[in-house]
Structure 1
């Protein structure tokens, strides 16, 4: 975790330096950031202040990914130790689908938030939410658009330009990444909420001013986790429009009849998709982006992904008896002191072999 934060800090310091120098020097400094493709370096030189928001978005996505997968065999840790803006997870698994989606959502979210704060010179509030919402002759609502509505369309466009620019190949994995990138950033827009403030005498709500705002990022992570569990396996087919990803569903004909060809179904825009089955993530593997489960804390008497039976992959677990002292029975003494006693407690800790 600290390695990732240190990398992000270095990149952000670079970008802060870029903002203070000429465009020529900006291009040179953008070239020093590892893992960027040529189109990404060009975007960096054109809008260096937006790259700070992208770094914040990457950290946001990393923290949420690790939160959602805490206790799972694959806990989204090793993958974020690599170059901040480069590719992650070489295996085209369900976990890769989630990782690309949460990274894209974090990028769109952070850029949108930076626009609203005025940290990016080329964007600000969404000016479209200024007119009355009832312009079709319907009775006027007792509220009006106002405040600073989140310009999520700008955040989505910039996230698409920057993150999709690393997909240089036109193979099935590229199509998978592009699809999951789009699903992640589109979810940010779908989950925008309408906040309102009342105006009137003595707190009455004679008129309300409303604006669009970003939801808590945890909500986006929760929704993507639901999509992770419902992710669809896809395969590549070549047609008139080139290579495309489809979900194959078999149809059964009548007895004795020639079985029909499987119906090709396109994945929905908001679905997460993947090409390969996930490994078991039991052993350390940099290729699959996991540190393994040896030494991980587990729960002996519980069910679920963090139970010792599942997390330890049948290798068993170690039991450690721990005794410690902590403050207890604290009381407030007038005035102004808190006095506590020291209590001993004993408990067992279980770790995978």
Structure 2
């Protein structure tokens, strides 16, 4: 016997709608932990700080409680990753500004674009870099100096290995645990969706870039500052160097598709371009093509370039011709007052003049 179902009342409908929005808001949230940047200047002394409001997934909450002394470093990495992303793309149409909205994610960071690929790569790299540095400068008892090269690796140059190198081995291990914890379902199984596979790979690319960037830093020893002898250790470069390397990967991101393997039932990501069978482990991948980011579009996450500053007379990415997408620009002047001609007087004060500059600026229409 069939029974007639009552239509849901308004209250029930609104609850269902709110639930749908909530579930949708958590899709593609593997970098929501970047919201920790808002805690950059707060003390981190209790496990009460480990909360979902910080953008942490359930498995990240466990890591947070078990590694509380590392969390200020994780917070620092979130801030560094976001600042570096915006700095690397400050003159591009897409300028990484949407990452400031975390834990909310705009469509440019959940649709599988090359921009999403870069954010996942830079966030993973920033975490490894920050933790590795924290080890070598003694900010945590979880790790210490990185291992010295083996005697067989001793070069013929006039220096000795010593000092305290960045512990990239620990940084890589913790970084993978923390970022990839977002790519496991409630049953503990690794997610196998196309988006999860892409994000997992791009997380790995970020770690690989840091690993391959480990170089040598040295200190001179000798009379009157001479360099008669040097002590060297393994050290990472400034993070902007790694951000620039990832930006080069961004420009050559490989478009992929998911394909079932011939040998079994599992699927893998393969290049979409005919004639190419695979991509390298240090190449970023995406599966959705990016818009031109010229005009606002909620569907793609584009905020447009109206009002962005640009430069006249060049053909670089920050030029008005490129940035304004053919719409032209407004020209205006801005008066800036600053200190200049400063002189130091012994002892002990500085006198400066006040200079005024008139800047000729341009903004996209």
Question: 1:319/1:213 Cα in 2 relative to 1: closer, same or farther (>3 Å)?
Answer: same
Q: TM-score, normalised by structure 1?
A: 0.80
* 1:132 and 2:147 matched: no
Among residues 20, 40, 49, which one is paired with 2:60 in the alignment? 40
Q: Distance in 2 between matches of 1:150 and 1:299?
A: 40
- Once the two structures are TM-superposed, the CA of residue 102 in structure 1 deviates from its matched residue by 0.8
Question: 1:331/1:7 Cα in 2 relative to 1: closer, same or farther (>3 Å)?
Answer: closer
Q: Distance in 2 between matches of 1:333 and 1:12?
A: 34
Among residues 261, 269, 283, which one is paired with 1:245 in the alignment? 269
Q: Distance in 1 between matches of 2:314 and 2:206?
A: 32
The count of corresponding residues between Structure 1 and Structure 2 is 323
- Once the two structures are TM-superposed, the CA of residue 9 in structure 1 deviates from its matched residue by 4.2
Q: Is the CA contact 2:35–2:78 (under 8 Å) kept in the aligned structure 1?
A: no
* 1:316 and 2:328 matched: yes
Q: Name the structure 2 match of 1:340.
A: 353
Q: TM-score, normalised by structure 2?
A: 0.78
Q: Name the structure 2 match of 1:157.
A: 173
Q: Distance in 2 between matches of 1:56 and 1:337?
A: 35
The root-mean-square deviation of aligned C-alpha atoms, in Å, is 3.2
After TM superposition, the structure 1 = structure 2 runs for residues 75-224 of structure 1, keeping only pairs within 5 Å, are 75-83=95-103, 89-126=109-146, 128-129=147-148, 131-134=150-153, 142-168=158-184, 169-199=191-221, 207-224=229-246
Structure 1: gaps of 5 or more residues: 19-25, 251-262
* 1:17 and 2:17 matched: no
Q: Name the structure 2 match of 1:303.
A: 315
Q: Name the structure 1 match of 2:23.
A: none
Q: Is the CA contact 1:308–1:352 (under 8 Å) kept in the aligned structure 2?
A: yes
Q: Name the structure 1 match of 2:69.
A: 49
Q: Distance in 2 between matches of 1:307 and 1:98?
A: 23
Q: Is the CA contact 1:309–1:316 (under 8 Å) kept in the aligned structure 2?
A: yes
Residue 122 of structure 2 aligns to a residue in which SS?
Answer: helix
- Once the two structures are TM-superposed, the CA of residue 350 in structure 1 deviates from its matched residue by 1.7
- Once the two structures are TM-superposed, the CA of residue 165 in structure 1 deviates from its matched residue by 1.2
- Once the two structures are TM-superposed, the CA of residue 113 in structure 1 deviates from its matched residue by 0.9
Structure 2: gaps of 5 or more residues: 1-32, 185-190
